[in-house]
Amino acid sequence: MAAVSLPQKSTTVRKNWKLSLLRSSFAIGAWLMPGATLQRAFRLFGTPMPGGRFKAHTAELAGASVESLAYGHEQVTCYRWGDVDRQPLAVLAHGWSGHGLQMAAWVAPLRRAGYAVVTFDQIAHGRSTGCRATLPLFADVLARVTDHYGGASVLVAHSLGGAAAMIALSRGMRCDHTVLIAPAGDPLDAARRFGGFVGLPGHLSARLFEDFEALTGIDVDDLQVHRSASRIAGRALVVHDLEDREVPWCEGERYARYWPAATLLSTQGLGHNRVLSDPSVLAQSLSFLGGTPVGERVVSSPNLPFGFA
């Protein structure tokens, strides 16, 4: 046991030391050079964690055909199972710092249900090229991949992939059934959480999206759930764990509240990532795709953008 625990402890110590150093540098920089520190934070905010790339390159392909799709100057790596010309298509969309094969648990159940399946690595993620990404880019790449394979009957999206799915669907991408797993719903709160994680003072965290809006030309408020979800026609199942520490349950609840044909399935004890491959979640999601009512309807009010009606 000692031989196993020592490297784990050493790794934890190294990670904690690096995080402490990062937080100290942001705290000092915010005092001495606030403008440069804000720029540095913005670059880091848009840069995925490198571990996802390693995991993507070492993940089992599970019989997938690997294909490359051009997106501007970048290349998007796609993974395909089944015949997209003869079978209805299910598209799987991963979240921030994730990768397409992270959603491999969905492939076999969807194939048994008669679907061809496609997942992919977002720009700057997995085996795809690029160094930085944004939520609007996530949505554009998702729409591009889906269109390339002829359109999706089913869309399964995790975390920031869920937010990207909402934006793509609200802009005209069509899909009969959508399953959102722990979807991120509040970019402003995400910026606050990021600022707290790296030690960026609150007054600078609030300004993170100034550069984002200048870069994309998009008002970040337009990316809020209650601005877009009400325009989506297809059915949706929102799955969110009550103990999710990365994206709070209330953000998933907000999707179910404002998406006209959505229901909410709450889990407990699965957190942000294990919910993605939990057998019960998979089974209930497949039941939803088959037409069985799953989850609870959440009442909405146009005068109450947040909280319970």
Is the residue at 298 inside a domain? no
Instruction: Say what the pLDDT of residue 2 is.
Output: 34
Helix (H) or strand (E) holding 69: strand 65-71
Q: Are residues 1 and 114 in the same domain?
A: no
Q: Are residues 27 and 113 in the same domain?
A: no
Instruction: Say what the pLDDT of residue 165 is.
Output: 97
Q: Are residues 18 and 123 in the same domain?
A: no
Beta carbons within 8 Å of 112's beta carbon, 6+ residues apart: none
Neighbours of 174 (CB within 10 A): 14
Q: Rounded to whole angstroms, how far apart are CA atoms 184 and 175?
A: 19
Q: Are residues 96 and 14 in the same domain?
A: no
By C-alpha distance, which of 253, 235, 231 is closest to 244? 253
Is the residue at 259 inside a domain? yes
Model's pTM, two decimal places? Answer: 0.88
Contact 122, 138 (CB under 8 A): yes
Instruction: Say what the pLDDT of residue 11 is.
Output: 47
pLDDT < 70 regions, the chain: 1-15, 19, 300-309
DSSP class of residue 222 equals G
Is the residue at 89 inside a domain? yes
Is the residue at 300 inside a domain? no
Provide the residue range defining the domain that includes 91: 38-289
Q: Are residues 148 and 3 in the same domain?
A: no
Strands 74-81 and 65-71: antiparallel
Instruction: Say what the pLDDT of residue 28 is.
Output: 78
Is the residue at 308 inside a domain? no
Q: Are residues 17 and 53 in the same domain?
A: no
Instruction: Say what the pLDDT of residue 214 is.
Output: 76
Helix (H) or strand (E) holding 118: strand 116-120
The residue assigned the tokens 């995080």 is: 19
CATH number at residue 128: 3.40.50.1820
Concatenating the DSSP letter of every residue in 27-47 gives HHHHHH-HHHHHHHHHHHHTS
How far from 144 is each of 116, 148, 171, CA to CA, in Å?
A: 17, 6, 13
Q: Are residues 217 and 174 in the same domain?
A: yes
Is the residue at 52 inside a domain? yes
Q: Residue 69, exposed/middle/buried by CB under 10 A (0-12, 13-18, 19+)? A: middle
Q: Residue 301, exposed/middle/buried by CB under 10 A (0-12, 13-18, 19+)? A: exposed
Instruction: Say what the pLDDT of residue 245 is.
Output: 93
Instruction: Say what the pLDDT of residue 83 is.
Output: 97
Q: For 121-187, where are the E strands, in sequence order?
A: 154-158, 177-181
Instruction: Say what the pLDDT of residue 217 is.
Output: 76
Q: Are residues 43 and 20 in the same domain?
A: no
Q: Are residues 21 and 51 in the same domain?
A: no
The sheet with strand 65-71 has its strands ordered as 65-71, 74-81, 116-120, 89-93, 154-158, 177-181, 235-241, 262-267
Task: Count structural domains, the chain.
Answer: 2
